Structure 1
Amino acid sequence: MKLAAAKVPVSTVWTSPDAPRDIDAAAVADKPDVAAWAKSMDTETRLGLHGRTLTQLLFAEPVLVRSESNGWSEILAPWQPSSADELGYPGWVPSSHLGELPGSATAPVTITVPSAELFGEPGSGHVAELSFATVLASVEKADGFTRVALPDGGLGWLSDDVLRAVESPSTPEDRIRLGSLFLGLEYLWGGTSQYGLDCSGLVHAVSRVLGRRVPRDAHDQADALEHIPIDEARPGDLYFFARPGKKVHHVGFVSAEGMLHASETGKRLENEALLPERRETLVAVARF
C-alpha cells in the first residue's frame, strides 16, 4: 500500500468502480463538481445512492491506496475509523482525485464555516472552495491569514476568520453551534461535506473540527464512545437509535429543543423535539 491524499475539495467514496450512475458523472469527474451533483438529484435519485456511496474524503485527507484498476483506487481512510477495516474506512475513489501528501508543517488547523476560499496569496488568487471540517497543516501566519500545506507540494492561504486550531479546547455548546450551521441542508447518504450530510457524517465532521476523531458510522460511534444513562442526557451528548435486534442505524446531537440531526433521505438537517416514534427506538446516550 502507498500513502496519498485527496487533492480535490470533496471526493465521494463508492462501493465499487461500477457503482456511479450516469447522473453521478459530476461527482466522479477529474475535477468533481459536488455542488452541481447534489443539486441535480431529487429524492428518488438520492435514495438510489444507498449501496453505492459510502462516505466522502475532504481536501488533503490522507488515504492508504490498497490497489488501482482502470482509473480507480481502492482506498482506506484512516481519519474515518471503521469496524470494516482496522486501518480505516474502505472504498473506491477515482485515482484522479488523489495526489501526494502535503509536506511537513506545524500545528493543524480546520475550517469552521460551511465553505472557505483557498487563496494563492493572502486574500487574492482564488484556488479552490474548501468544505467545513477540512484539516490542513499550517506553515506560517501573516496579516490575518494562515499559510497551509497542500497536496502535491503546493501552498495556499486561508483567512484566520474561518479557522481554528485543531488542538484548541472545545465545549458541548460548540457541537450544537457548529452543527446548527447546516440547519436546512438536504440529507445526503454518505455525505460529510457542506454539500450534504448524513446523520453520522454530521457527528463525524463536527467532531473533526473540534479535534476529536470518531468513527464514521453510527453503529461504530455507539461502540466507541462512553455510554451514560439515557435520563442524564444533556446538550452536546449523542442519542443513538436501533430497532429491536438490529444494530444502531441513527445518531443525533442532544439539544435543548430535543435533537439536532440529519434525519433521512428526503428531509433536511433539523433541530426538533424528540418525537414519540424516535423515543421508541432510542437505545443509548453517549458522551464525549
Structure 2
Amino acid sequence: MKLVAANVPVSTVWTSPEAPRDIDAPAIAVSPDVAGWAKSMDMENRLGLHGRTLTQLLLGEPVLVRSERDGWSEILAPWQPSSADDLGYPGWVPSSHLGELPSSATAPVAVAVPSVSLTAEPGSGHLFDLSFATVLASVDHADGYTRVALPDGGEGWIADAALRSVDSPATAEDRIRLGSQFLGLEYLWGGTSTYGLDCSGLVHTVSRVLGQRIPRDAHDQADTLESVALEEAKPGDLYFFARPGKVVHHVGFVSAEGMLHASETGKRLENEPLLPERRETLFTTARL
C-alpha cells in the first residue's frame, strides 16, 4: 500500500467504482463540484445515496491506497477510524482525487468556519474554497494570514480568523458553537463536509477541528468513547440511539435545548428538544 493525500477540497468515498449515478457526475469529476452536486439532488436522489456513498475526504487528508482499477483507487482513511478495518475507513475514490502528501506535517491548523477561500497570496489570488474541518500544516504567517502546505508540493494562504490550531484545548461549548454553524444544512448521507453532513459526520468533523480523532460511524463512536450516566449528560456530550437488539443508528450532541444533530435524509441540521420518539430509542450517552 502507498500513502497519499486527497488533493481536492472534498472527495466523496463510494462503495464501489460502479456506485455513482449520472447525477453524481459533478462529485466524481477531476475537479469535483460537491456544492453543485448537493444542490442538484432532490429527496429521491438523496435517499438513493444509501448503499452508494460512505464518507468524504477533505483536502490534505492522508489516504492509504490498497488497489487501483479503471481510474479508481480502493482506499483506507486513517483519520476516520472504523471497525471495518484497523487501518482506517475503507472505500473507493477517483484516483484523480489523490496526490502526493504535503511536504510539511507540523503545526496543523483546522478550518473552523463553514468555508474559507484559499489564496495564492495573503488576501489575493483566490484558488478555491476549503470546507470546514480541513486540516493542513501551517508553515508561515503574515498580515493576518497563514501559509499552509498542500498536496503535490503546493502552498496557499488562509485567513487566520477562519483557523484554529488543533492543539488548542477544547471545551464542550466549542462543540456546540462549531456544530451550530450548520443549523439548517440539509442532511447528506456520508457527508463530512460543509456541503452536507450526516449525524456521525457532524460529530466526527467537529471533533477533528478540536484535535480529537474519533471513529467515523455512530456505532463505532458509541463503542469507543467514554460512557456517562444519562442523568450526568451535559451540553457537548453525545446521545446515541438504537432499537432493541440493533446497532446504534443515530448520534447527536447534548445541548441546552435538547439535542443538536443532523436528523435524517430529507431533514436539516437542527437543535431541538429530545422528542418522545427519540427518547424511546435512547441507548447510551458518552463524553468526548
Given the alignment of the two structures, is residue 178 of structure 1 paired with residue 175 of structure 2, yes or no? no
Q: Deviations over 1:36-91 (max 9, x none)?
A: 10001011110000000000000110000000000000000000000000000000
Instruction: Report the AA paired with residue 261 of structure 1.
Output: H
- Aligned residue for 1:260, secondary structure, equals strand
1:194 maps to what in 2? 194
Pair 1:97 & 2:97 matched: yes
2:76 alignment partner, SS class: strand
Matching residue of 2:158 = 158
Cα drift, residue 106 of structure 1: 2.9
1:248/1:105 CA distance change after superposition, 3 Å? closer
Aligned counterpart, 1:237: 237
Q: CA deviation at 1:105?
A: 4.7
Matching residue of 1:5:
5
- Corresponding residue for residue 113 of structure 2: 113
1:210-221 correspondence to structure 2 within 5 Å: 210-221=210-221
For the residue of structure 1 that corresponds to 2:23, the secondary structure is: helix
Q: Distance in 2 between matches of 1:46 and 1:253?
A: 24
| AA aligned opposite 1:219 | H
User: What corresponds to 2:25 in structure 1?
Assistant: 25
Aligned amino acid, residue 282 of structure 1: L
| C-alpha distance in 2 between matches for 1:203 and 1:95 | 28
Which residue is 2:55 aligned to? 55
Q: 2-side partners of 1:11 and 1:22: how far apart?
A: 17
In the alignment, the residues of structure 2 paired with residue 105 and residue 68 of structure 1 have an alpha-carbon distance, to the nearest angstrom, of: 26
Instruction: Name the structure 2 match of 1:140.
Output: 140
SS of the residue 1:113 aligns to: coil
Aligned equivalents of 2:110, 2:232: Cα separation in 1: 31
Q: Which amino acid letter does the alignment assign opposite residue 57 of structure 1?
A: L
The superposition leaves residues 201-243 of structure 1 with CA deviations (integer Å, 9 ceiling, x where unpaired) of: 0000000000000000000000110001111111000000000
Could you tell me which residue of structure 2 aligns to residue 81 of structure 1? 81
The amino acid that maps onto 1:74 is: E
Q: Which runs of 5+ in 1 are unaligned?
A: none
Percent identity of the aligned residues? 81
Is it true that 1:15 corresponds to 2:18 in the alignment?
A: no
What amino acid is aligned across from residue 237 of structure 2 in structure 1? D
Q: Which runs of 5+ in 2 are unaligned?
A: none
Instruction: Give, in angstroms, the shift of residue 170 of structure 1.
Output: 1.2
**Structure 2 CA distance for aligned equivalents of residues 134 and 224 of structure 1:** 24
Number of aligned residues: 288
TM-score, normalised relative to structure 1: 0.99
SS in 2 for 1:182: coil
Q: What is the rounded CA distance, in whole Å, between the counterparts of 2:165 and 2:195 in structure 1?
A: 23
